[in-house]
Chain A
Amino acid sequence: MEALLKKLTETFGPSGEEAAVRTLIEAEIKDSVDRIFTDNLGNLFALREGAGPAIMLSAHMDEIGVIITHIDEHGFMRLAPVGGMAPHLLIGQRLRFRDGRVATVYHEKLKSLRDLEWSKLYLDGGAAAAPPENPVAVGDLACFDQPFQRAGGRYLAKALDDRAGCALLIETARRLPRELPHTVCFVFSVQEEVGLRGATTAAYRLKPAYGLAVDVTRVGDTPKAPVMAVSLGQGPAIKIKDSSVICHPLVRRFMIDTAAELGIPYQLEVLERGGTDAGAIHLSREGVPSGVLSIPCRYIHTPSEMVDAGDMEHALTLLVKLCSKPWPAL
């Protein structure tokens, strides 16, 4: 899991440019599934045939990033957020483009840091010229450039949101039994961070009987954090609600019962702000009963997202079991 997480999180993949992540995942999962295909938006589907109706498992490949909006004659680049990126997190950060080129971010002179806004930030890639001499073009995307590291029992990396979910889906595929009560479709979705867009079309195409998103969630266990009854290291979280979905009671109950049966720790999650692929899946066509398995994560949408190794292992155990047993009828 750790080696896989390292590869996944260090790969470039802001929303809209998930190709490198997709190529990596395809290579990692292809031997564990019956069929693999992509769709018009770039979602990757990896399918294991089973006896019963399909369960769609979804983890998003994309990460937050920035897009270049303007390049001046001195080579300074202006930027805008792709997904929920905060400007103050970027100061002094290295960003990386698709081709591996790096740049750093700084700001114009400010009276106070409170005046910081996107229009005051610029990106410096070392080229002192406008295009075409500058290798970067308007519209190019960049993401955080940070290595994956282990810190005690925890993992630190950019893009754990949601490569942690991608890693879990890949590992789940590797451990599924030969006979499955349901067809299990692993979906690696695009453009979640800009509005659950990949999952929308993926669910429409698959017409699954059930949906299950796997994504990170916030925690309330850091100094003076807003109230949230989820902590790092206390087990994966079974989502009740976020801004995008109220998880189906049947799916929720099934997940809770399965975790209890396995004797693994779990937490119940009510996320006051934020959404995930299940928000799109559950509203597909006539509605798809959906749930979410969440990985507790600190510092979401920063260059140093943190998840707990034990939470990941427990999540994996739970996911394998969820995919191996028959789901309750509606």
Chain B
Amino acid sequence: MPVSGFKIKDVLMELSAATGVSGDEGAAIDVAARYFRQYTDRVKRDRFGNLIAFKEGKLPAGEPRFSLALAAHIDEIGAMVTQIARGGFLRFTAIGGIDPRTLLGQAVVVHGRTPLKGVVGALAPHLLAERERRKELTLEKLYIDVGLSEAEAREQVRVGDLISLDQEPVLLNGEKCCAGKAMDNRAGVAVLLQCAAELASMQHRADLYFIATVQEEVGLRGAVTAAYGVSPDLAVAVDVTHGAAPGLPDHEVHSLGKGPVIAIGPNIHPALGEKLHALAQSYRLPYQIEPVAGNTHTDAWAFQVSREGIPTALVSVPLRYMHTAVELLNLDDLIAAGQLLAFLSRSLDGAFWEGLSCY
């Protein structure tokens, strides 16, 4: 069921290339907002910076309105300048869960007075004693070299400036797979857009809120305020989960190309999780199941306990090499995830919604 004019590949690549480190998601949000405007009634940013796109549901007269929020975080991991050290080298701290091992040799952009190209350096192996070489690489040993003298660096860069990974997305296996930075979680935002595009030709009763949340990587912060502000009756978070790769046990990961991953566990409302499951089966969409014993570490965790509590579910896209500059995923999984959410939106009615609080 291809949607005319909507190409997930293009959307995802544009989103991935845009900058949006937690705390300054503006550029990525501008890209997302441009697309959401095509498929929704109105788009705004809330006080916290979350992007909220609204599409009104069509209900028979007299039926009570209810709303579904679909949320995906738009921020990406990155770093922040902590010190301009002697020689103009920049010391930095992590924004979100960045792994020092994957940073060494990485190209970055330092968002100083103007964006500056830089690379992450450390002592060359030739210069390290054998013992030193075997030691764990920590952030304290790394620095960013922007090629400027100390005086120039002090002119251009301040403590607190953000640093993003510099990596254009690439297509692999023809155009089936895509790898790049920030796929966690621009993939989720692309899924929301896929869903919104699908819904151009579908009726839905629920009022729909598509939310691109900010500051997820530093503690689900955007989701906390968005959930409170929108106060939806139901919510589905869309994020990425670990894809199968060499060395990882099968029971901890999910295969790329085998469909979106539906979470079950205490973070998930059982009836809403079951509904997604049933929809995937009846529309013959590929899907996988992920049991999560407690905290899913996604926006779903924040939505569930907002205000009086929100029935919440989680749909994930399998992705390899999470929190690196080469996060890799299969585009078919994104399309299927978007379709699944569209079918969910179409299927919801007042009776189902009211039934969610009956145990």
Contacts and interface: CB of A to CB of B under 8 A. Distances in A.
Given A241-B23, A287-B47, A330-B47, A229 B225 contact: no
A287 B46 CA distance: 8
B225 A286 contact: yes
A246 B24 CA distance: 9
A288 B229 CA distance: 12
Contacts of B46: 286-287
B158 interface: yes
Contact of A286 (B24, B47, B81, B93): B47
Interface stretch (A88-96, A117-125, A140-148, A266-274): A266-274
Most chain A CB inside 10 Å of its own CB: which residue of B46, B82, B95, B225: B82
B113 to A, nearest CB: 14
A270 B94 CA distance: 11
Q: Which size class do A's interface residues fall under?
A: 20 to 34
Contacts of B224: 283
Interface in B224-256: 224-225, 228-229
Nearest to A226: B140
B294 interface: no
Contacts of B47: 286-289, 330
Given A270-B82, A289-B47, A330-B47, A240 B225 contact: no
B82 A283 contact: no
B160 interface: yes
Nearest to B84: A229
B218 A246 contact: yes
B78 to A, nearest CB: 11
B19 interface: no
Contacts of A252: 160
A129 interface: no
Chain A residues touching B, majority SS: loop
Contacts of B22: 246
Given A270-B80, A270-B160, A286-B47, A246 B23 contact: yes
A249 interface: yes
Interface string A210-231: 0000000000100000111100
B159 A270 contact: yes
Interface in B160-185: 160
B159 A286 contact: no
Most chain B CB inside 10 Å of its own CB: which residue of A246, A267, A269, A270: A246
A285 interface: yes
Contact of B80 (A226, A241, A282, A285): A241
Contacts of B225: 283, 285-287
Interface in B56-101: 80-84, 91, 93, 95
Nearest to A249: B24
A286 B229 contact: yes
B48 interface: yes
B258 interface: no
B312 interface: no
Contacts of A269: 159-160
26 contacts: A227-B83, A229-B82, A229-B83, A229-B159, A241-B23, A241-B95, A241-B160, A246-B22, A246-B23, A246-B95, A246-B215, A249-B23, A267-B159, A268-B159, A269-B160, A270-B81, A272-B93, A285-B225, A285-B229, A286-B48, A286-B225, A287-B46, A287-B49, A288-B47, A289-B47, A330-B47
Complex A-B, nearest 7 residue pairs according to Cβ-Cβ distance, in ascending order: A287-B48, A240-B160, A287-B225, A246-B23, A286-B229, A268-B159, A229-B83
